[in-house]
Chain A
């Protein structure tokens, strides 16, 4: 028990809990300044998502997207590639999935599978340019990937407006994807689950993406920690030169890390069209571009921690939506909280120092008696030499 409380894992956990608590406290202080009813607003923010079944559904759906985005960042940051082109990959993946689901004339099951495949391939390919530039010429991938994001968003808008939008549609969007080509609900059609299934289907639209996301988490974990590719990727992430001298093909690893992350980003895009919106709409990915970083960092870059971090931030996002609708505080508050948490979690010297100092003091007082003979020995040794 005692050893657990002094372990590194516990310290990490404590740091995250502290950071989130401080972030939420800061959010409350801001609310105090701007709201007429700060307590009510914050209550709707913190308790809103679980107050109704349909809101729980929204929370879960939001979280699924976020978990996928967190996985994307886990992969690229694991290789120390500051690649943040997720938004571009996701938006084009969403477009590809939507186009297949809307226009390819084949039966439902192969069509849905093809939609996923198309989204993932498009997502991966869109990362190719920054990946090649980084691997072969060491061009700054942060800037190139951000520029490619904007290019992808513009291309998305262009395709949507020029080819997909129907004249009769009032908003900038495609037609709805027909019922049989959408994803089914996540509760299986079994006799004893019939009741729950009815209720869930009526109020929420959580789909079988739940299982796909769980599978993705396990696959990414397995890939990063149990395969030679993952080992190479993490070695490149720790020390590129060492990896190079160790015989790892660094260029290939960098390119592959970005391409594999693109597969997951495309999957997130497919989730947006096939499960959340059921159509292609304008500004589909707004505000999601940097979410993956928040989540991966909070999860300590470990794929198994990503679902927890994703559910947490999905909760905060869903809560901020409820707050915006039911009070005078806008949902952007959650970005400020997230930014603060991000800074605090990554501040290696801030929160753990307090912890470590306490541990050091304890250690000193405990080892006090053991330490003395050593000092004596050294001193005797010294005199002996002299």
Chain B
């Protein structure tokens, strides 16, 4: 395929639809990461929880034949993993980074361990028949020519992901409990004096992040693909954490950052059909993440410097004003 076809296909409805679909498993962990970060407990176990969610969802759907029960089980498993991290960090004082890495290790080892027991295979769960979530054809919108092709017909999870951005915004900025969580993140001591239970708030925030990460994982194994694969999250949990930084910890910003990473992912999928080595093309999403983090960090740095200069100037002006008054 020539470059021209690739470029043309990038501007097609199919590509835009694929950006939306590929962004979904980044939006979910990013939203989970956001809630955990604003509460002051950056959850570094998102990657592992995604793997667990993906695995449990597939296995329960295969054994019970009920998609909704499978989703519920996946969420419960994700919450349990997040609470394990919370228990050790908040009550037993494990370092949050190391605790997160430990949970990731447990998740990637544990899922492969159980996969081998249940299917006799260590790579994927293709041998058991698991279910996937239904797609949703949006009434009326699906008949609109361009828009219908882009927006309609995605798995239910995709709509849930975009809806969750609005829900997270309302939760964090418009509800009493969400405000409490932010207060705990800003200043735990002050929050304590106001009678907010810091430990409980942080446990709940971690549990919510577990729900989102598990949904992100199940989106991979029950919508994007129809089976579980070893290390299925493939760095998306970490990219979600990058999206939280890049989106300046605001729900809408995080959404746009996630879509940016989804876009990079989709581009790399498209370029795969060109005559470029596939391994190099596959690095695009990861390099994009590093570049985006770098640009964001540099920008933050400059903003801070400018702020400092402004204060300095104001301060000097105030001093000189005082001096002239004294004269």
Query: Which of A's residues lie within 8 Å of B, judged by CB?
Result: 34, 82, 84, 129-130, 133, 136-140, 142-144, 146-148, 150-151, 154-155, 157-158, 161-162, 290, 293-294, 297, 330, 332-336, 338-340, 342-343, 346-350
Residues of the B chain whose Cβ atoms lie less than 8 Å from the Cβ of A332: 109-110, 112-113, 116, 122
> B109 to A334, Cβ gap below 8 A?
yes
| Docked-complex contact B290 and A154, CB < 8 angstroms | no
Interface locus among B14-22, B90-98, B147-155, B184-192? B90-98
**A137 contact from B44, B93, B287, B301, Cβ within 8 A:** B301
B290 near A148: Cβ-Cβ < 8 Å: yes
How far apart sit A173 and B294, CA to CA, in the bound complex (Å)?
35
CB distance from A213 to the nearest CB of B (A): 24
Q: What separation, in Å, do the CA atoms of A294 and B287 have in the docked complex? A: 27
Report how far A155 CA is from B284 CA in the complex, Å: 12
A346-B95 in contact given A147-B235, A148-B290 (Cβ < 8 Å): yes
A179 to B81: give the CA distance in the assembly, Å. 49
Of all chain B residues, the one with the shortest Cβ separation from A324 is B116
Residue of B nearest to A130 (CB): B290
Q: Would you give 20 A-B contacts (Cβ < 8 Å), ordered by A?
A: A130-B290, A139-B293, A143-B238, A144-B289, A144-B290, A146-B238, A151-B287, A158-B280, A293-B101, A330-B112, A330-B113, A332-B116, A332-B122, A335-B106, A336-B109, A342-B102, A343-B84, A346-B88, A347-B93, A347-B94
Q: Which residues of B contact A (CB under 8 A)?
A: 44, 84, 88, 91-95, 97-99, 101-106, 108-110, 112-113, 116-117, 122, 234-235, 238-239, 241-242, 245, 277, 279-280, 282-283, 286-287, 289-290, 293-294, 296-298, 300-301
- Chain A neighbourhood of B94, CB < 8 A: 343, 346-348
Q: Is A339 a contact partner of B109 (Cβ separation < 8 A)?
A: yes
Asked whether, in the complex, the Cβ of A133 is within 8 Å of the Cβ of B297, the reply is yes
Q: Is A139 in contact with B297, judged by CB distance below 8 angstroms?
A: yes
Contact present for B289 and A147 (CB under 8 Å): yes
Is B122's CB under 8 angstroms from A150's CB?
Answer: no
Option from B88, B109, B290 in Cβ contact (under 8 Å) with A347: B88
Query: Which A residues are in CB contact (< 8 Å) with B298?
Result: 137
B97 pairs with A142, CB closer than 8 A? yes
The answer, among A140, A335, A338, for a CB contact under 8 Å with B293, is A140
Rounded to whole angstroms, the CA-CA distance of A157 and B103 in the bound complex is 28
Give the docked Cα–Cα distance between A348 and B94 (Å): 6
Say yes or no: A336 contacts B106, CB within 8 Å: yes
Closest Cβ of chain B: how far from A24's Cβ, in Å? 15
Indicate if the CB atoms of B103 and A339 lie closer than 8 Å: yes
Chain A residues with CB under 8 A of B99 = 343, 346
Closest to B88 in A: A343
Query: Can you add 14 more A-B contacts, CB < 8 Å, to A335-B108, A343-B102, A348-B92?
Result: A137-B294, A137-B301, A139-B297, A144-B290, A150-B235, A151-B286, A151-B287, A155-B279, A155-B280, A155-B283, A339-B109, A343-B84, A346-B98, A347-B92
Q: In the bound complex, do residue B98 and residue A162 qualify as a contact, i.e. CB atoms below 8 Å apart? A: no
| Nearest CB of A to B239, in Å | 8
Nearest A residue to B84 via CB reads A343
Residue pair A290, B101 in contact (C-beta under 8 Å): yes
Chain A residues in 8 Å Cβ range of B289: 143-144, 147
Partner of A335 from the list B105, B238, B242, B301 (CB cut-off 8 Å) is B105
**Of all chain B residues, which has the CB nearest A333?**
B113
How far, in whole Å, are A155 and B283 apart by their CA atoms in the complex? Answer: 8
Residue numbers in B under 8 Å from A294 (CB-CB): 105
A350 to B105, CA, bound (A): 21
A143→B241 contact, CB < 8 A: yes
- A340 to B99 alpha-carbon distance, docked (Å): 10
**Top 3 A-B residue pairs of the complex, sorted by shortest distance between their CB atoms:** A335-B109, A339-B106, A347-B92
Contacts of A146 in B (CB 8 A): 235, 238
Are B102 and A348 neighbours in the complex by a CB distance under 8 Å? no
Q: A140-B245, A147-B286, A349-B91 are in contact. Are A34 and B117 (CB under 8 A)?
A: yes
Scoring A142, A144, A339, A350 by chain B CB atoms within 10 A of each residue's CB, the highest score goes to A339
A139 to B239, CA, bound (A): 14
Q: Are B294 and A133 in contact (CB under 8 A)?
A: yes
State in angstroms the CA–CA spacing of A202 and B104 once bound together.
40
B287 with A290: CB separation less than 8 A: no
How many Å lie between the Cα of A293 and that of B97 in the bound state?
11
- A-chain residues with CB within 8 Å of residue B106 when the two chains form the complex: 335-336, 339-340
Contacts of A297 in B (CB 8 A): 98
Report the minimum CB–CB distance from B279 to chain A (whole Å): 4
Instruction: State the CA gap A347–B86 with chains docked (Å).
Output: 12
Q: Which residues of B contact A150 (CB under 8 A)?
A: 234-235, 283, 286
Complex contacts, B282 vs chain A, CB 8 Å: 154
Taking CB as reference atom, which chain B residue is nearest A35?
B117
When A133-B297, A343-B99 are in contact, do A151 and B283 touch as well, CB less than 8 Å?
A: yes
A334's closest neighbor in chain B, by CB?
B109
Cα–Cα, bound, A339→B300 (Å): 35
CB distance from A251 to the nearest CB of B (A): 12
Quote the shortest CB–CB distance from B290 to chain A (angstroms).
5
* A335 and B105 alpha carbons, distance in the complex (Å): 6
> Nearest chain-A residue to B116 (Cβ)?
A330
Shortest Cβ gap from A291 to chain B (Å): 9
* B residues near A138, Cβ cutoff 8 Å: 297, 300-301
Check A139–B294 contact: CB distance below 8 A.
yes
Chain B residues in 8 Å Cβ range of A157: 279
Chain B, Cβ-Cβ closest to A156: B279
Nearest Cβ distance between residue B62 and chain A, in whole angstroms?
18
Q: Nearest CB to that of A33 among chain B residues?
A: B117
C-alpha gap A155/B241 in the complex (Å): 24
- Of all chain A residues, which has the CB nearest B109? A335
Name the one of B97, B293, B294 contacting A82, with C-beta atoms under 8 angstroms: B97
CA distance A142 to B101 in the complex (A): 11
The answer to whether A350 and B286 touch across the interface, beta carbons within 8 angstroms, is no
Report Cα–Cα, A158/B282, bound state, in Å.
11
CA distance A161 to B278 in the complex (A): 11
Min CB–CB distance B186 → chain A (angstroms) = 19
Determine the distance from Cα of A294 to Cα of B84 in the docked complex, in whole angstroms.
Answer: 18
Report the separation of the CA atoms of residues A304 and B8 in the bound assembly, to the nearest whole angstrom: 60
Q: Are B112 and A137 in contact (CB under 8 A)?
A: no
Minimum CB–CB distance from A340 to chain B (whole Å) comes to 7
Q: How far is the CB of B82 from chain A (nearest CB, A)?
A: 14
Question: Known: A342-B102, A346-B99. Contact between A147 and B112, CB under 8 A?
Answer: no
The smallest C-beta distance from B244 to any residue of chain A, in angstroms, reads 10
